Amino acid sequence: MTEGRPFTVAVIGASGLVGRTLVRQLTGHTPWHVVSTAHRRANERTAPLDIRDRAAVDAFVDRVVPDAIVIAAAERRPDVCEHDPALARALNVDAVRTIAEAANRHGAWVLSISTDYVFDGSKPPYRFDDTPAPLNAYGRSKLDGEHALTDTAKLGCVLRLPLLYGPVTDWHESAVTSLVPAVIASAAPDATAASMDAWATRYPTYTPDVACVIQQMLERHATGDALCGIAQWSGDEPMTKFEIAARLARALHVKARLVPQTASADATPRPRDCHLDSSRLEALGIGRRTPFDTAIVQVLEAFGARSPAACSPPACSPSA
């Protein structure tokens, strides 16, 4: 950290599900200077930045001179990655390397967000040092992005995360809340029952908890004890999309008609169970988990109220 100025964190991709919540967490609960970027959804609070533009990335990092960079921008839709691998590589691999190279010039620590889809889902739970074996283009691009970060950054860490949900701007921002319209529709008189996947086990993880984890990782770096390599964080409640939908229905107080789909019907192959072991972070006292039923009510109420204050996360307090 440069003497005489505040610890500076750059959040790349601050308009997305993780980035938006992280900026809210950091600006609400730390004295740090937070600079954020977005691509298509830039506004008066975020600098416009296309991470595929090397010159623009270099100019941004050289201007801000951050102490830490969090890369929350990515192509995270498996079907899009499958059909446009060049786009997936540009965002998930090449841009990570570009940002890491720029960070090296200023001694900045870089945190890159990855996914449980780097594993094939056949032998959970997965430790941070287990051998990845992705099944689809998304997983392969994120694994290559991990290598781009760890091979390039002098100070860097990959944080693998599973299925995420949290404060949303529309239902389809998360695979959890994307089920809401079908759940509600299935409760209508004479409606057709909604078919929900009951094959794959997921571990929904609340983005305000992820923001807390990242803040705690940043705090270690700010005190000269940067975490490097690979780390993982995950919710600890296993459930299928069928079970998620049932819990959504309960939270929404609707009598949904749901049918379990016991075989995978995805065109893009997906792993069956990629439970991430979070013990590396837990051993450092890092982490927080909000029970799903508590968190999803907060998400639903905040979306209905359209109230930014209702979405504000609390201060971090670790819990196993």
The secondary structure of 184-218 as a DSSP string is: HHHTSTTPPPEEEE-SSBB--EEHHHHHHHHHHHH
Q: What's the CA dihedral at 241, 243, 245, 251 to 10 degrees?
A: -140
Cα distances (Å, whole numbers) of residue 217 to 17, 42, 109, 214: 19, 26, 10, 5
Going from N- to C-terminal start, the domains of the chain cover 8-166+205-236+272-290
Domain spanning 8-166+205-236+272-290, CATH architecture: 3-Layer(aba) Sandwich (3.40)
Would you write out the chain's pLDDT as a tens digit for each of its 320 residues?
Answer: 556 689 999 999 998 999 999 999 999 888 999 999 988 766 668 889 999 999 999 999 999 999 999 999 998 888 899 999 999 999 999 999 999 999 999 999 999 999 999 999 999 999 999 999 999 999 999 999 999 999 999 999 999 999 999 999 989 999 999 999 999 999 999 999 999 999 999 999 999 999 999 999 999 999 999 999 999 999 999 999 999 999 999 999 999 999 999 988 787 889 999 999 999 999 999 999 999 999 999 999 988 733 333 344 567 765 44
* 68-71: strand order across its sheet: 47-48, 33-38, 8-12, 68-71, 109-115, 156-161, 229-232
Dihedral sign, CA of 153, 155, 160, 165? negative
Tokens coding 184? 């509600």
